[in-house]
A and B are shown apart, each in its own frame.
Chain A
Amino acid sequence: MSSWGIDETTIIHSEVSSRQDKEIRSIITEILADNVKILFVTAPEQYSNKDKRHNTSYHSYFESLTEEYENVSYFDFNDKKTSNLNLDVKTDFAKVNHLNVLGAQKTSVVLADYLNAKYSLTDYRKDTENNTRMEEGLTFFKNKLATSNEEQLF
């Protein structure tokens, strides 16, 4: 039986090879050299203790990276302690590790709040000179939700 979210009772497997670690570190070094911040994110997925390839297996690895590198952060959408997503396996997933439009909206709202609180990003809603494409995208998405009879959650 699948469920969403991990807590202190969840068994977490840590399986990052030295080659994978080397590649991740080279990506981090290259991006940080451009003075760009990095946020590692583990997307929501259904959890089963039997599945060893579950992405939460990397949870502790990425947590340790944030301690090593300045400007590298980690957000695990599955961590019930830090994420107040409260996803429902029955209604919010298209498959085990893919959200449907409801789940994606819930996740994006939480991510938007997290990014807004943690980083100083430009509010493009006020920048009418540069936000034409974003406004078009938003209108398109809202229309798509309306025509497909999907609930708008933001």
Chain B
Amino acid sequence: MEEKVKPTVSIDKKKKIQNIVLRIFSLLMMFALLYSYACYVFMPKTAGDSTYYTSRSFKVEKKNTIDVLCLGSSAIECSVIPSVLYSKHGISALNSAEYITTMDNEIGHYRESKAYRTPKLVLIDTEIVWNGGANTYKTPSEMFFCAPFSNHNRLKSLSWDDFYFHGVDDETVIIQD
């Protein structure tokens, strides 16, 4: 009789453990899904929302049509107007500067831009020597998964557009603005 009871207890324990594991796994999955959705909600959707996109507008320009790539901080962001360069001498320039930037952020922009074009000239703001800015380099996936923290200030300005999925990728995001 004892031999028959023992397996029954063991099976119950196994089931209990399986249930616990399944619950923990389900909980983690739910958390991962909810967190990913929160990342999507907090992620800026237009260029106007974030300099992360405006500084990467090389992604939407026609391939190999930008001769001058401007890198640096807000000082260059506020000084170089590509349209004026084009109007004066037909120079094709893109201002990729980002406020309170760092050296690794700017070289990161340059590396990313190479997938789309090789400029003839890179203009670099000397202010990057300061290197004390908060904008360190983030890959697109890092940017996405940090969104609830790095873009928490969007909480007050969230709109309906932020909550539903509409095929956002880096390219369409910029074009929308």
Please give the residue numbers on chain A whose beta carbons come within 8 Å of chain B beta carbons, in ascending order. Answer: 16, 20, 23-24, 27, 30-31, 34-45, 53, 55, 58, 61-62, 74, 77, 94, 97-99, 103-105, 107-109, 111-113, 115-116, 119, 121-127, 130-134, 137-138, 140-142, 154
Known: A36-B118, A41-B126. 19 other contacts (CB 8 A): A30-B110, A31-B110, A34-B118, A39-B123, A74-B126, A77-B79, A97-B127, A104-B79, A105-B81, A108-B84, A112-B84, A112-B88, A112-B91, A119-B120, A122-B92, A124-B90, A131-B92, A134-B92, A141-B81
B129 close to A133 (CB less than 8 A): no
Q: Type the 1/0 row for B70-86, where 1 means its CB is closer than 8 Å to any CB of A.
A: 00101110111111111
Instruction: Report B126 CB to chain A, min CB distance, Å.
Output: 5
Total number of residue pairs linking A and B with CB closer than 8 Å:
162
The dominant DSSP class at the B interface is mixed
**Shortest CB–CB separation between residue B95 and chain A, in angstroms?**
10
Ordered by A's residue number, 23 sampled pairs between the chains whose C-beta atoms are within 8 Å are: A23-B103, A36-B118, A39-B121, A39-B124, A40-B126, A41-B72, A41-B126, A42-B126, A43-B127, A97-B74, A103-B79, A111-B80, A119-B120, A122-B90, A124-B90, A124-B91, A134-B82, A137-B83, A137-B86, A138-B87, A140-B83, A141-B84, A154-B87
For residue B131, CB closer than 8 A to chain A, the reply is yes
Residue of B nearest to A65 (CB): B126
Q: Is the CB–CB distance between A45 and B86 below 8 Å?
A: no
Q: A99 to chain B: which residues have CB within 8 Å?
A: 78-79
Q: Which residues of A contact B90 (CB under 8 A)?
A: 122-127, 131
CB distance from B116 to the nearest CB of A (A): 13
Question: Which residues on the B side are within 8 Å of A31 (C-beta)?
Answer: 110, 122
B50 / chain A contacts, CB cutoff of 8 Å: none
- Contact, CB under 8 Å: B124 / A38: yes
Which chain B residues have a beta carbon within 8 Å of chain A's beta carbons? 61-62, 65, 67-68, 72, 74-76, 78-92, 103, 106-107, 110, 114, 118-127, 129-131
Give CA–CA (A134, B127) in the complex, Å.
28
- Closest CB-CB distance, B63 to chain A, in whole Å? 10
